[in-house]
Amino acid sequence: MPISMKRPTALVFFSICAVVDFALGCIKWHSAVAGVVAIVCGLPLTLLFFLVFRARWTGTDDSGAPHS
């Protein structure tokens, strides 16, 4: 299986984070509107997480050996 198939894509990563943000917003503030606000406010932190994880993945394959 190609390496790119084993790693989550940006869409999947942002979707999972958005669902978590929505759920936490609904649980904490008991409102769907608060869930949507939590998604919007969580986007900058989600982008930061994505960039950090992507930088960590770049340059190595799953075995830890550098790409040639």
Q: What is the pLDDT of residues 1-50, one digit of tens each?
A: 455 545 668 888 899 999 999 999 999 989 999 999 999 999 999 999 88
Residue 4 lies in a domain: no
Domain range enclosing 17? 10-55
Residue 2 lies in a domain: no
Quote the number of domains for the chain. Answer: 1
Both tokens of 41, joined, read 């406010």
Residue 5 lies in a domain: no
Q: From the CB of residue 8, how many other CB atoms can be counted at a distance below 10 Å?
A: 13
What burial letters (b/e) apply to 21-58, b meaning 16+ CB within 10 Å? bbeebbeeeeeeebbeebbeebeeebeeeeeeeeeeee
Residue 47 lies in a domain: yes
pLDDT in the model for residue 19: 94
Summarize the chain as % helix, strand, coil (round to 5): 75, 5, 25
CA distance 16 to 58: 21
